[in-house]
Amino acid sequence: MTLSFGTRLRSAMDERGPLCVGIDPHASLLGSWGLADDIAGLERFTYTVVEALADTVAVFKPQAAFFERFGSRGIAVLERATADLRAAGGLVVMDAKRGDIGSTMAAYAEAFLRKDSPLFADALTVSPYLGYGSLKPAVDLARESGAGLFVLALTSNPEGAEVQRAVREDGRTVGATMLARLAEENAGETPMGSFGAVVGATLGDLSSFDLDINGPLLAPGIGAQGATPADLPVVFGDAVRNVVPNVSRGVLRAGPDASALRDAAARYADEIRAAVAG
């Protein structure tokens, strides 16, 4: 029997520490490594990160768009990186933010959540803003495959508030509604469910929201966006143990030296572990 994503994630976080490293090979970062913004630069960057960190970091979040922009050759790099990370014991959250309806949503799900797909990942980021019910094909396939989802709920970008903080007729915000739906998906699951929310670490006190969804909370914003590990207990309160803090540039800027990448990741992991432990 395939262990659920929630079970595998808890085990990885307990063993390797609660850190997610984003793999975001955008042009300026490639340039800071002395690499050209081409397929050779993409390959060198990506495989250096994989080789340096795959056996020590719990979770990786490749941003699909930075690979897709190179066409089929970029997708091939993403496929290999995903397979290599998972083979080394890392969990892969594919940051593709897919969202659609019906057969199209099902096709997106099959691309990333079907076990025999070349791009199969442990979890996928998805957008619920065609209605939470539009995610059903992805929810169903994730359950079948032992994978997970991270649903955009309270994102760190300022523009997100106009949708996520909008108040529904029942008096509840859209973001709170998404959190409630995820809590329903995760009800009764141990050690935690597989259906998580994306909640920005830069948002400050979120005590007005019920973040106890019995599932993981993917928290971008630490490092270059201004949040620090010390902010996590303030933002997430009692749910902090289920937080998966994402650091991208804060780690990646340490490259291309592999030992410097490992040191940067280890430093963030230690700081996050200490902050979560209180």
- Positions marked active-site: 97
Residue type for 4, please? S
Residue 185 CB partners (closer than 8 Å, separation 6+): 139, 193, 195, 215
Rounded to whole angstroms, the Cα distance separating 183 from 67 reads 32
Comparing CA positions, the residue from 55, 53, 13, 43 lying closest to residue 264 is: 53
Rounded to whole angstroms, the Cα distance separating 155 from 75 reads 26
- Beta carbons of 199 and 236 less than 8 angstroms apart: yes
| Residue ranges in 5-148 assigned as alpha helix (H) | 5-16, 27-32, 39-53, 65-68, 71-87, 102-113, 136-145
For residue 256, cis peptide bond before it (omega within 30 degrees of 0): yes
Structure-token pair, residue 9:
């994630």
Q: What is the largest CA-CA distance in the chain?
A: 54
Angle at which helices 71-87 and 39-53 cross, to 10°: 10
Within 13 Å and on the Cβ side, how many CA atoms surround 245?
A: 35
In angstroms, the first-to-last Cα distance of the chain is 36
